């Protein structure tokens, strides 16, 4: 006869409480809610499966509260099957201008911009090792124009253009 009350022979990591499973599922549903608020461009830039992408698009069309709640449960289930839900959440947070991840990427791009303006081509080479997908010619042109503005003590917006390009590249490097 099998003793179903004897849990001593099961490893501890297999024993997960029902409450913990519900908390994890609600957290995944919150990620799904955040995804619903993203623009189409932001959603398309996320590294998600076709199933999750289609579920998000479908969920945007649902207007009834109960149907929307059930669909969010489905989205949570699909997110659980994704490769790295934590990376997905960090990518979503990067779009939120008040998030820690967004601020970190802003500061990183600012440091690269300042370094590139001060050091020149040496810093451009270092940035290219960090982000090899960058357009070298465009990056050097932006850096040269920004350096010229600093030397002439003018503000024609070249530094801002360089920053925007660097921020775009930082986002691509961090997401991929």
pLDDT value at 1 more than 80: no
d(CA 164, CA 161): 5
Q: Per the structure block, which two tokens stand in for 22? A: 């519900």
CA distances from 84 to 46, 115, 167 (A): 12, 33, 23
Whether the full predicted model's pTM is greater than 0.85, yes or no, is no
Q: What is the pLDDT of residues 99-126, one digit of tens each?
A: 777 788 889 999 999 999 999 888 988 9
Q: Which domains does the chain have, with CATH numbers?
A: 16-91 (1.10.60.30), 100-175 (1.10.60.30)
Is residue 4 very low, low, confident or very high in pLDDT (cuts 50, 70, 90)? low
Q: What is the pLDDT of residues 131-141, one digit of tens each?
A: 888 889 999 99
9-16 long-range Cβ contacts below 8 angstroms, 24+ apart: none
What average pLDDT does the structure give for the chain?
Answer: 84
């Amino acid at each position: 006869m099998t003793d179903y009350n004897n849990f001593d022979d099961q490893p501890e990591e297999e024993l997960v409480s029902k409450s913990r499973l519900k908390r994890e599922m609600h957290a995944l549903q919150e990620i799904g809610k955040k995804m619903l608020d993203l623009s189409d461009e932001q959603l398309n830039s996320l590294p998600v499966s076709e199933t999750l992408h289609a579920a998000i698009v479908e969920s945007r069309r649902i207007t009834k509260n109960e149907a929307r709640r059930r669909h969010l449960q489905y989205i949570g289930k699909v997110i659980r099957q994704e490769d790295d839900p934590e990376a997905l959440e960090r990518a979503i947070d990067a779009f939120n201008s008040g998030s820690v991840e967004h601020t970190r990427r802003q500061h990183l791009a600012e440091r690269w911009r300042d370094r590139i303006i001060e050091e020149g081509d040496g810093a451009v080479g270092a940035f290219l090792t960090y982000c090899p997908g960058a357009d070298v010619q465009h990056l050097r042109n932006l850096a040269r124009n920004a350096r010229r503005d600093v030397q002439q003590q003018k503000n024609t917006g070249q530094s801002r253009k360089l920053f925007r390009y660097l921020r775009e590249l930082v986002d691509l490097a961090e997401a991929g």
